[in-house]
Amino acid sequence: MMSSLRIPLYVKSISGTMPCMPRNAVIGVDIGTSSSKGVLVDAGSGDVLRSAVREHAVDRPGPGRFEMDARVWWREFASLSRELTADLDQDGLAVAAVGVSGMGPCVLLTDGHDTPVRPAILYGVDTRSTAQIARLEEELGAEEIVRRCGSGLSSQAAGAKIAWVADEEPEAFADARRLYMPSSWLVRRLTGAYVLDHHSASQCTPLYDTNAQEWYAPWVQRIAPRLELPPLRWSGEAAGAVTLDAAAETGLPAGVPVTTGTIDAWAEAVSVGAQGPGDLMLMYGTTMFLVHTVPGAGLLTSPALWSTVGALPGTRNLAGGMATSGAVTTWLRELFGSPDFAELLRLAEESGPGANGLLMLPYFAGERTPLMDPAARGLIAGLTLSHTRGDLYRAALEGTACGVRHNIEAIEAAGGDIRRIVAVGGGTKGALWTRIVSDVTGRAQEVRATTIGAAYGDALLAAQLAGDARIDDWNPVAEVVRPDPARTAAYDELYGLYRQLYPASADVVHALAARQHR
C-alpha cells in the first residue's frame, strides 16, 4: 500500500539501473503503566528491527487513586514513532501498518472537541468507585449484572468509574461527551476515527452486553446518558488511516492503516499466540495478568474473575489480574537503594525456596482477582533480624507465584480448561521468576523467542492487516519451563499457609486500610 508513496531505491544490475522495492515493516506501540514501548518489525519475518521506550509515572492524588494525563499518551506515541521511522529509506524499509494498545480498562472522558474534562482514571489498581459499585449492584442487581455483562462489578469495571465522575465531579461530567482508552485515544489522534474494540468495551461493566456484543442502551442511559459511546470493532480490524496532520507529528506516511487496538494484556496474548482454546497467557509485568481462552463459544462466569469477549472474533475469555507483581519488586529495589535487578535475582537465588521462612501477601495496592478486595494490603510474615534483601526479594517472587496459583485454581473452578500456559513480559527475563511460578503451580510454561509483549502483539495485528503473518513463523517457542516435582511438593505447604494468611489477617488489614483513607 505504502510503496506508492515512497521514493523507490535503485540498485545496479547487469542490464542497468532498476528499482528495488522497500521491505514492508510494521509498527506496534503500547501505552503501559510505567512506560510506553514501541517496536518496528519486519512484516515478513517478525524480526524486531528497532525498539524504543519512554518511561513515565502515573499520578496518585489520594489513597486508591491512580490517574494519568492523556496528553502524555499521544506525546510519547509521536516521539516513539519519529524515532522508529527515522531514515527508513536508507534501510530499504517502508511502514505498511500501525498497531496500538494500552493499559486498561481506563476512563478518559472528553468534551465534544476531544478535550479531556479530567485526567484519565486507570484500571483496577484505582479503587475509588467502591460506593458506586455498591449502589449499582443494589439498583441493577448483582446477579443480573453478571448474567448480562459476564462479570460482576469490581475496581476493574470502567462503568463504575464513569459513575464516580458523575457523582463526585458533576461539573466535569456535565461537559463529558466521549469515552476513550489509551488505544482508542491514539486511534483518534492518528486517524480521526472514534471507535473502541469489543474486548475493551466488555470491561466497561455494566455498559456492555457480552451476549449481544453491543452497548446495553438501558444501562448506558441510566449511568452515562450524555456520553456518545464509540462504535465497536474487533482489535485487528482497520480503524482508519493516518491523516496528514498525524503524519506531520509522527513521521508516519499518510494513508497507512491503523488497527482498532485493544487492552495491553490481550495484545500480549496475541504476541505469543495464546488465543487457542485452552490457552492461558501469563503476563509478567507491573501487574500479573492471566487470560484464558475458553474452549467453545459458551460464556463462563465467576464472581472471582472477569468474563470478557476476546480480542479476536468468536473468542471468549476468563481473565484474572493481580493488582501488583513487578510493582512490588520495583518497590523493593527502590527501598534497597536501587541495586541492579540482576543482583537482586542473584541474591534471591541464593536465598532458596521458601525465602528462609518468609511469606509475602503481594496485595500492596489491594487485590483484584480472585479476592476482589480493594482494601487488602501487603503483608510480610515471619520477619526476623536475620533476613536479608535476597530473602525479601525471593518472598516477593514466591508471593506473586502463589497469587498466580490462586488465580489458576479459580479459573478451573469456574469451568476453565487450561491446556497450555504461555509466559510473556519483562519478568520472564532472568529465568528465576518463571521457574518459581512453575514450581509453585506445578505447571509448565512455554516461553517464545520474543517476549517484548503488547507492542509486539500490536505489530503482529498490524502485519495481519497489511498481509499474511503467522505467529509460529514470527515468534517460535524458545523454551519450556517445567516444574521440579520435589520443589512443587515443598511449595504446597507454603501455598497452604499463603491461603490461610489472608483470611486470618483480613480484619486487622481492613482496619489499617481504613486509617489510610482518613
pLDDT at 46: 97
pLDDT at 286: 85
User: What is the C-alpha separation between 164 and 44, in angstroms, rounded?
Assistant: 46
DSSP state, residue 364? B
**For the chain, how far is it from start to end, CA to CA, in angstroms?**
58
Mean pLDDT for all residues in the chain? 93
Domains defined along the chain, listed by start: 1-105+181-193+237-272 (3.30.420.40), 107-176+196-229 (3.30.420.40), 274-450+484-518 (3.30.420.40)
Burial category of 506 from C-beta neighbours within 10 Å (exposed 0-12, middle 13-18, buried 19 and up): middle
pLDDT at 6: 34
For the record, the C-alpha cell of 167 comes out as 457523582
Find out whether 302 and 150 touch, Cβ atoms under 8 Å. Answer: no
Is the previous residue joined to 370 through a cis bond, with omega within 30 degrees of 0? yes
State the pairing for strand pair 48-55/420-424: unpaired
Q: Which parts of the chain register pLDDT below 70?
A: 1-20, 297, 518
Share of the chain above pLDDT 90, in %: 88
Shortest CA distance to 286 belongs to which of 265, 308, 307, 311?
265
pLDDT at 19: 52
Shortest CA distance to 2 belongs to which of 28, 18, 23, 19?
23
User: What is the C-alpha separation between 404 and 412, in angstroms, rounded?
Assistant: 12
pLDDT at 20: 63
